[in-house]
Amino acid sequence: MVTNAATLGRSGVHDFLIIRASALVLAAYAIFLLVYLFSNPGLTYQDWSELYSGVGMKVFTIISLFGLLAHAWIGLWQVLTDYVKCARLRMFLQFVLNIAALSYFVTGLVVLWGV
């Protein structure tokens, strides 16, 4: 079996499972937010602040942020591996895009715990 340090899983099967699990978490988070939006018309800042001040919502959001990071990391690796044949350009793009995804994750954590 060939392993690759650029992937999150140990093999293609692990990457496949991580992608699917993260997609389920992100779908659950999106559905929850849509239901919350439609069941609470006329939301105010106070309502959003109360929603995100609970520990349960913070944990759910952190798990969703981590799922987004994992999904992006593996997805970007797969797309760049398929379509960018120049190894140096691919490594540069992976580096830049993964730094961006990681910075979004860290920014999300800082904003979330600031509520």
Q: CA geometry: angle at 104 spanning 102 and 108, to 5°?
A: 120
pLDDT at 6: 55
Residue ranges for the known binding site are: 71, 83
Q: pLDDT tens digits, residue range 11-46?
A: 788 999 999 999 999 999 999 999 999 999 988 999
Confidence of residue 115 (pLDDT cuts 50, 70, 90): low
Residue ranges for the known binding site for a ubiquinone are: 83
Residue ranges for the known binding site for heme are: 71
Distances in whole angstroms, Cα of residue 20 to Cα of each of 23, 24, 27: 5, 6, 10
Q: Is the pLDDT of residue 1 over 50?
A: no
pTM comes to 0.81
Taking the domains of the chain in order of start, what are their residue ranges? 12-114
- Domain 12-114 sits in CATH at 1.20.1300.10
Q: For residue 10, what is the DSSP state?
A: S
pLDDT at 114: 77
Beta strands in the chain (DSSP E): none
